[in-house]
Structure 1
Amino acid sequence: MKFSVDKHEKYVVFKLNEDKLNSIITPMLKSELILLNAEGFRNIILDLSEVKYSDSSGLSAILLGHRICKGSSDNEGTFVLATLNPPVQKLINISQLENVLNIVPTVDEAIDYVFMEEIERDLNNEAENLG
């Protein structure tokens, strides 16, 4: 599996450099996502700009990423999909997951989304501590 990882303080951008996200790639992708989360990255941006095809196993890897970032309320993070090609977007729409997953057009917008979510979580935590 070909990929690149760009780690930052608040988030990591994982770019899958494969044209297919299928049952051959999925186990490795799941492992990488779990490792990133175990390293303490609770905000993961998955850049799928190179992926032209995904099957249901690819969808399961995406859902795993979503689930591990969601975590518990004290360690909640954000999982964002960026730069989806039409066939991958169509699979997500057919599966009716477009309202469950965080999907944005570009990696830059995904980074902005992560920071907005972080600010919102900080404000909610402050409100809970005051109340």
Structure 2
Amino acid sequence: MKITKTENYTLIKPAEESINIFLNNLEKNIFNFNGEHLILDFSEKINTTLKELLLFLKLSVEHKQNGTSFVIVFEGVEIDEIPDDINVVPTFTEALDIIEMDAIERDLGF
């Protein structure tokens, strides 16, 4: 995993060959990211499928319940096929927008 922390979010890019290995590593270390907004950047991962992205659904739901954002950057997935419980966007800029919108929703009590 390649990790970049900023004041507003933590960006994680998979360095592992397999999405499953990356997920296992992330789950083992998720406690290091408590209270942080996470952006998982799969933009450089080729041949990633929606099925693989949905493996992160549980982490997404847990993060949302803890009052933090969880966004996956990946281009090439039909937006209509993605459940509402997980945020998948095609660009990094849109991931930052999602974090901002989530913060507004939390401030408004949604």
TM-score, normalized by the shorter chain, greater than 0.5: yes
- Paired residues for 1:20-99 under 5 Å: 22=18, 25-33=19-27, 35-54=29-48, 58-71=52-65, 75-82=66-73, 84-86=74-76, 89=77, 96-99=81-84
**Structure 1 pair 59–104 and aligned structure 2 pair: CA distance change class (3 A):** closer
Contact 1:12 1:41 in 2 (8 A): no
Match of 1:11 in 2: 9
SS at match of 1:45: strand
Identity of aligned residues (%): 29
Which blocks of at least 5 consecutive residues in structure 2 are unaligned?
A: none
1:124 aligns with 2:85: no
Report how many residues are paired: 110
Which blocks of at least 5 consecutive residues in structure 1 are unaligned?
A: 126-131
Could you tell me how far 1:80 is from its partner in structure 2? 0.9
**Structure 1 pair 109–85 and aligned structure 2 pair: CA distance change class (3 A):** closer
**Structure 1 pair 30–76 and aligned structure 2 pair: CA distance change class (3 A):** farther
Contact 2:39 2:72 in 1 (8 A): yes
TM-score (normalised: structure 1): 0.63
Q: Following superposition, which runs of at least 4 residues in structure 1 exceed 6 angstroms of deviation? A: none
- Structure index of larger Rg: 1
Match of 1:129 in 2: none
Distance in 2 of aligned mates of 1:115 and 1:33: 25
